[in-house]
Amino acid sequence: MIHIDYRDSKPIYEQIADGFENLIGRGVIEKDSQLPSVRLLAMELSINPNTIQKAYSELLSRGMTYSVKGKGIFVASQKESFKERKLSELFDKMRKLILEATASGISGDEILSVLVNVQKTIREGA
């Protein structure tokens, strides 16, 4: 369900949180359904329970889930569209990337060309 890459510089707890956010946002996990318990997921992924706990706290603070004492953690109803939020995130990250590139003397056309190349390689790789 969730894939962990230990070599990724992104911390494990964030990889887990992002993974669930994706599954929830894309509707793979439905609203009000229960997430696996901390202990269970920790065993399944062979990961320290503290790390799972941190990932779940992250999801909670992002408003993706709600917790019921003694019962577990459940998927919250999504206020704003998941895709909308992701598009907004993409916009911010893309903007930062482009500002950096521009500061290094790369032109707008060159950036566009890089984007097209990337998309091409991804299509070919798929």
**Could you tell which of its own copies, DNA, none binds residue 3, using a CB distance below 5 to 8 A set by kind?**
none
By CB atoms closer than 10 A (0-12, 13-18, 19+), residue 20 is: buried
| Interface with its own copies in residues 9-68 (CB under 8 A) | 11, 22, 25-26, 61, 66, 68
13 is a site residue for DNA (CB under 7 A): yes
| Interface with its own copies in residues 97-116 (CB under 8 A) | 97-99, 101-106, 108, 110-112, 114-115
Contacts of 92-101 with C-beta under 8 Å, sequence gap 24+, read none
The C-alpha atoms of residue 15 and residue 27 are separated, in whole angstroms, by 18
1 is a site residue for its own copies (CB under 8 A): no
Among 1, 28, 40, 115, binds DNA (CB under 7 A): 40
Which residues in the chain belong to E strands, given as ranges?
A: 65-68, 72-75
**Widest CA span in the chain:** 57
29 is a site residue for DNA (CB under 7 A): no
The C-alpha atoms of residue 92 and residue 100 are separated, in whole angstroms, by 12
The residues facing 74 across adjacent strands are 34, 66
| Helix/strand/coil for 108 | helix
Binding site for DNA (CB under 7 A): 11-14, 35, 37-40, 47-51, 53-54, 56-57, 60, 67-73
Binding site for its own copies (CB under 8 A): 6-7, 11, 22, 25-26, 61, 66, 68-71, 82-83, 86-87, 90-91, 93-95, 97-99, 101-106, 108, 110-112, 114-115, 117-119, 121-123
